[in-house]
Structure 1
Amino acid sequence: MRFAGLITGAAATALVAAGAITYAVAADANTQDAKTPTADSADAGFARDMAVHHQQAVEMSYIVRDRTTNAEVRRLAYDIAQTQANQRGMLLGWLDLWGLPKVSADPPMTWMGMGDMASGKDGALMPGMATNAEMKKLGQLNGKQAEVFYLQLMTDHHKGGIHMAEGCVAKCTVGVEKRLAQGMADAQQSEIQLMAGMLKERGAAPRS
């Protein structure tokens, strides 16, 4: 149960911080010297792409919640879904605040200088994201098999998310967004370590 406490504590901290971050970015945007990001900025690109990235993590987590009765995995999945759904709402809210579109004609991660190179393996939209075939497979597994596959998929997902978050830390200009991105990277790295332990308990290991 030690892991469960750590997960719940981290998720609670992230959710409490979310409200403060939302108010902070609104305050930043209302100051005279605040510069509203442009549609092709790293700030907007990160908000758009991470919102898409997060949405799949939420979907994946709700799938596994219904495919296993294991309390530890269900709790992890719930915490990831709640945290990332909350953060996704913030990212989309910022785009509204800035008066910017939520979709772009440019390939994902163009703001990182990756563009057409951003597609992940086997047609995944971005690095770390699961393919349609993998999402379908997760929905067909049960019990331990579902747990292992979810932990492997989410580990890859977090690695891709960390790469993107670190890109925002380096390139974004809105301070509160940079801080959120750093918080994402730190939290997801901790969860990667947690999931490695959970995989080991199940006689498995990360895929990469």
Structure 2
Amino acid sequence: MPTSTDSDPLTTSPGDRHGATRWQRVLVALGGVLALLLLGAAAGLLIGLPSAEPAAPTAGSVDVGFAQDMSVHHEQAVQMASWERDHSGDPVLRQLAFDIEATQTAQIGRMQGWLELWGASALPVGGQHMAWMSGTSGHSHAATTSAGEGVATMPGMASAEELRALRAASGRDLDVLFLQLMLRHHQGGAAMLEYGAQHAEQPVVRNLATQMLSSQSAESTYLMQLLTQRGGQPLPL
């Protein structure tokens, strides 16, 4: 019977079919690798596209001024909350003080991180605050007296005498004074939060200012309730 070196696909042996299957798997694997490479190339092109984020803000901008001033404003709240947490005998106020301290410490960290990334000073230069809010209407008592000028003390900040009184107080007097000072502190910072939420260029700054305004407004309501329950009255802003 004549023999042939040509293979008939209808009479391919099981071994030959097994080899063909292996080659099919190899081809499928190569196709997958090629697809991944194409996806990687596309991702690289996307990464190379211009960013939608605005350029780093400069000194005197709303973003830098907000981060600097709000860091200072927050720092005093952290100090008062830390003292109340360690010296109050009221478990409700100890928990509130702990929450304020933890929240505002974390927010200070975020704002200081931004300032470092932007190459900006950690604190306002010259000891003046809120010059970045110059020209705003409705905030003349809290912002500036003329274009480019700031204020030495931000609204809601406790004086040195008030802080000494807080450290000297105890019992109910300590709790009431803490609530009074913290409530006024929150109320005083609201104008800066509103302005930052509306006028900052960086989305992260606007978002944080909006979150702060929402949370501190709710917290102010709670502070007022606690103060009333303890027979205290809010301090004038």
TM-score over 0.5 (shorter chain): yes
Stretches (4+) displaced over 6 A: none
CA distances 1:133-160 after superposition (whole Å, capped 9, x unpaired) = 1011000001111110000000110011
Deviation at 1:31, TM superposition (A): 3.0
Percent of aligned pairs with the same amino acid = 38
- For 2:154, the equivalent position in structure 1 comes to 126
Say whether the 8 Å CA contact 1:67–1:141 is kept in structure 2.
no
Q: Which amino acid aligns with 1:171?
A: H
- For 2:47, the equivalent position in structure 1 comes to none
CA gap of 1:136–1:177, structure 2 versus 1, over 3 A, is: same
- For 1:108, the equivalent position in structure 2 comes to 129
Query: Scaled by the length of structure 2, what TM-score is found?
Result: 0.70
Superposition pairs for residues 1-208 of structure 1, below 5 Å? 31=51, 34-103=54-123, 104-105=125-126, 107-113=128-134, 114-115=143-144, 118-119=151-152, 125-208=153-236
Choose between structure 1 and 2 for higher RCO, CA contacts under 8 A separated by at least 6 residues: 1
How many residue pairs align between the two structures? 174
Say whether the 8 Å CA contact 1:56–1:129 is kept in structure 2.
yes
SS in 1 for 2:114: helix
Q: Which amino acid aligns with 1:129?
A: M
Distance in 2 of aligned mates of 1:32 and 1:80 = 34
Deviation at 1:106, TM superposition (A): 6.2
CA distances 1:149-208 after superposition (whole Å, capped 9, x unpaired) = 000000110011211111111221101110110110110010110011101111112123
Structure with the higher fraction of residues in helix conformation: 1
Query: Scaled by the length of structure 1, what TM-score is found?
Result: 0.79
